[in-house]
Amino acid sequence: MRFIAVYDNVDSTNTADNDFTPFRNIINEWYCRDISKKVKAGMRARANSGEHITGNVPYGYKRSEDDPKKWVVDEEAAEVVREIYKLYMGGMTFKQIAEEMSRRKIDTPAKHMMQFGLYRYGRRLNLDELPELWHLGSIIMIIDRYEYAGHTVSYRREKVSYKNKKSIQLPESEWIITRDTQEAIIDEETWQTAHRIRESGRHRKVNVYDKGPLNGLLYCDTCGNKLYFKPTPRLKSHSGCYMCGYHLHYNLCSTHYIRRDDLDTVVLTHLRKVTAFAQKHEDEFVKMVERKTRRSGEDALRKNEKELAEGQARLNEIDRIINRLYEDKVVGDLSAERFAKMLDGFETEQTKIRTHCEQLRIAIAEDKEKTDSAERFIKLVRQFTDITELTPEIAATLIEKIIVGQAEKVDGQQRQEVRIIYNFIGDVSEEITE
Residue 273 domain-assigned (yes or no): no
> Which regions of the chain are under pLDDT 70?
1-3, 5-10, 12-20, 116-131, 201-207, 235-238, 293-299, 367-374, 385, 433-434
> SS3 letters for the chain?
CCCEECCCCEECCCHHHHCCHHHHHHHHHHHHHHHHHHHHHHHHHHHHCCCCCCCCCCCCEEECCCCCCCEEECHHHHHHHHHHHHHHHCCCCHHHHHHHHHHCCCCCHHHHHHCCCCCCCCCCCCCCCCCCCCCHHHHHHHHHCHHHHCCEEECCEEECCCCCCCEEECCHHHCEEECCCCCCCCCHHHHHHHHHHHHHCCCCCCCCCCCCCCCCCEEECCCCCEEEEECCCCCCCCCCEEEEHHHHHHCCCCCCCEEHHHHHHHHHHHHHHHHHHHHHCHHHHHHHHHHHHHHHHHHHHHHHHHHHHHHHHHHHHHHHHHHHHHHHHHHCCCCHHHHHHHHHHHHHHHHHHHHHHHHHHHHHHHHHHHHHHHHHHHHHHCCCCCCCCCCHHHHHHHEEEEEECCCEEECCEEECCEEEEECCCECCCCCCCC
30 and 130 co-located in one domain: no
Structural domain total, the chain: 3
128 and 186 co-located in one domain: yes
Q: Look at residues 165, 200, 235 and tell me which one is the last residue of a structural domain.
A: 200
Residue 355 domain-assigned (yes or no): yes
109 and 157 co-located in one domain: yes
133 and 78 co-located in one domain: yes
The CATH number given to whatever domain includes residue 338 is 1.10.287
pLDDT in tens, 291-349: 776 665 566 777 888 899 999 999 999 888 888 888 888 888 888 888 888 888 888 88
CB 123 within 8 A of CB 245: no
Q: Which of 256, 290, 277, 224 is nearest to 418 (CA)?
A: 256
40 and 72 co-located in one domain: no
CB 255 within 8 A of CB 381: no
- State the pLDDT at residue 121: 53
70 and 19 co-located in one domain: no
- State the pLDDT at residue 205: 56
pLDDT in tens, 3-24: 676 666 667 666 665 666 777 7
Full domain range(s) for residue 93: 61-200
Query: How far, in Å, are 8, 147, 221, 222, 265 from residue 262 at the CA level?
Result: 59, 47, 18, 21, 5
Q: Look at residues 184, 200, 216 and tell me which one is the last residue of a structural domain.
A: 200
Residue 386 domain-assigned (yes or no): no
Residue 292 domain-assigned (yes or no): no
- State the pLDDT at residue 403: 95
Q: Report d(CA 386, CA 276) in Å as an integer.
A: 9
CB 430 within 8 A of CB 421: no
Residue 205 domain-assigned (yes or no): no
Q: What count of residues does the chain have?
A: 434
Q: Look at residues 200, 231, 256 and tell me which one is the last residue of a structural domain.
A: 200
CB atoms within 10 A of CB 208: 6
- State the pLDDT at residue 130: 53
155 and 39 co-located in one domain: no
- State the pLDDT at residue 163: 78
Q: Report d(CA 150, CA 185) in Å as an integer.
A: 7
CB 404 within 8 A of CB 386: no
Residue 419 domain-assigned (yes or no): no
Residue 15 domain-assigned (yes or no): yes
- Here the contacts of 420-425 (C-beta below 8 Å, separation 24 or greater) are 420/267, 420/270, 420/271, 422/274, 422/377, 422/398, 423/376, 423/377, 423/380, 423/397, 423/398, 423/399, 424/370, 424/373, 424/374, 424/376, 424/377, 424/380, 425/289, 425/292, 425/293, 425/373, 425/374, 425/377
